[in-house]
Amino acid sequence: MRLIDPLLMEFDREASTTRKLLERLPDARLSWAPHPKSRTLAQLAKHLATLPDWIAGRLLADGFDLAAAPLPGEPPKATAEILKAFDENVAKAKAALARLDDASAIAAWTLSMNGKTLMQMPRIAFVRSILLNHSVHHRGQLSVYLRLLDVPVPPMYGPTADEDPFR
């Protein structure tokens, strides 16, 4: 078994859970935000949908300079658009992850800004930190948005007030 294989299995489970949340986005409320400093529902969902592609496009390089990051662009107008992007981006991330051998998984990966190192870690730690943990963080935010909009929240790691998979 390669070092990346357990993370690939975990990514599959987490992506499935993320998709369940994204499926519940109400099209009529995509421009809603819980606070003026918060992202809109569409902006947050787009970020979640594009994180796997962000990883896929940078994973096999030795690092990335954030100064070269593209601007976010327009927020999506429909849930179907978000789901399509998410599904495509998950496939891209899985393909990139599958290409990692053990040597490249433990090789250093650097995130920088205008040439200044912000963080450096083994590539496999970057995958855990950004693809998994960062996504779970934003998925938690999305679940709160849905709750505030009175949209039933699906189970993630256990029952929610709306659904109990154990009953």
CATH code for position 129 = 1.20.120.450
Q: Say yes or no to pLDDT of 167 above 90.
A: no
85 touches 49 (CB < 8 A): yes
pLDDT digits (tens, 9 = 90+) for 145-159: 999 999 999 999 999
> Distance between CA atoms of 54 and 164, rounded to whole angstroms?
33
Task: Name the band, by pLDDT with cuts 50, 70 and 90, for residue 130.
Answer: confident
**pLDDT for the residue numbered 144:** 97
Q: Say yes or no to pLDDT of 54 above 90.
A: no
Q: Which residue segment(s) compose the domain that 45 sits in?
A: 5-20+40-66+78-148
The answer as to whether 125 is a domain residue is yes
Task: Name the band, by pLDDT with cuts 50, 70 and 90, for residue 10.
Answer: very high
3-state secondary structure of 91: helix
33 touches 39 (CB < 8 A): yes
pLDDT digits (tens, 9 = 90+) for 88-110: 999 999 999 999 999 999 999 99
Q: Say yes or no to pLDDT of 122 above 90.
A: yes
DSSP 8-state symbol, 149: T
The answer as to whether 27 is a domain residue is no
> Distance between CA atoms of 60 and 45, rounded to whole angstroms?
25
3-state secondary structure of 108: strand
Q: How many separate domains does the chain show?
A: 1
Q: What is the DSSP string of 2-54?
A: -TTHHHHHHHHHHHHHHHHHHHT--GGGTT--SSTTSPPHHHHHHHHHHHHHH
The answer as to whether 33 is a domain residue is no
> In the numeric block, which tokens belong to residue 63?
């690092």
**pLDDT for the residue numbered 73:** 85
Q: Say yes or no to pLDDT of 56 above 90.
A: no
The answer as to whether 73 is a domain residue is no
Q: Are strands 116-122 and 108-113 parallel, antiparallel or unpaired?
A: antiparallel
Q: Quote the pTM value.
A: 0.93
The answer as to whether 87 is a domain residue is yes
The answer as to whether 161 is a domain residue is no
